[in-house]
Structure 1
Amino acid sequence: MPSKQPQLGSLAIQAPSLTPKTVHVSPSTCHDISVFKDLMSQYRKLDDTINMRLNRTTAQYRDRERSGLTGKGDVEEQACAHVWRELIANWSRRRDIVGYCVGVLDESVEEKRQALQDAGDDASAQRKARGALYAEEVKRNQIHNEVVVENIVRKRAFEAFRTRCRYFEPPPSEPEARKWWDAV
């Protein structure tokens, strides 16, 4: 079993909360596909609402500018940089969750394969072990498909971001941001 369990907070849920909820991803989260997919959909809210997020962030930076609390660059540039940092943080968290669950289910499938080999000539034990192996392989395949889904979601969000933030590029001083920029 992978040794490090991701500790993820309510940063995935884009509605502000006075009492943030911490989600502890465990092997049981990975084995319960509906819980896993629900968690992933919560983390994908930022990507799904990228245009609205950019609109709101731009409005916030305009309000700051009117209040005399300006930062570096123009309002659009600041808003794009802020949303970009949120996006890559969210992408990193999702990558960690999916990677963790891929490891958990890969290990579980290997355990079930070993149980099938250990069943020997006992037909009943072999049938039971085959059924358990098949169920784990189905779950593992669904989790592995999330890697493909993640790439699609990231690409779609990136394209929407680039449409609104045509002139934005992450600064060279942020290597993690550059890595994501080049990867998408």
Structure 2
Amino acid sequence: MLKWALSVLVILSVLSAQKRWYRGNMEGMGEFTMNISVNGLEDPVWEDKVRQVTLLFLDQYKVKINPKRFSPVLQLQFDILDSRVNPVSAYNIEISVMDFYVSHNEYTENLQKKETVKSFKSGKIYERHVLGQVSSDMLREDMEKKLMLLLDNFVDQWFRDNPIRQF
């Protein structure tokens, strides 16, 4: 009986821990600034292509990118090991949203004292990664496909947090 109860408890705790940590974090966000970083690939034309494709994709869903805005920041980071010697190249693509926040303890302490919160921290409120390996000939094409997948997931989460923006 005890083994059965423990196994049920473990299963329930694992199932309840599977929630996405970033749900609801982008609620109320209408504009972002964008930062793209490409490491390991010396091709400024490809970086500009990624920027344009990303802007067009986000514009299609009415996600606004304002370069004059300070925060929140939509970051796209590409870390690439392009090996022309070996038949396989590797990459890591990360999409994340950085914003300022105040810890719950600081907020409640300042609320009780009726003071203004002055010390904000910067942190990730959304993040997704893709690790991949592909032949060197197909590297750029595969990364572009994975970028579209990451952007699609980002827009999907943004619409979940901001359902009225769909209309």
TM-score when normalising by structure 2 = 0.29
Larger fraction in strand: 2
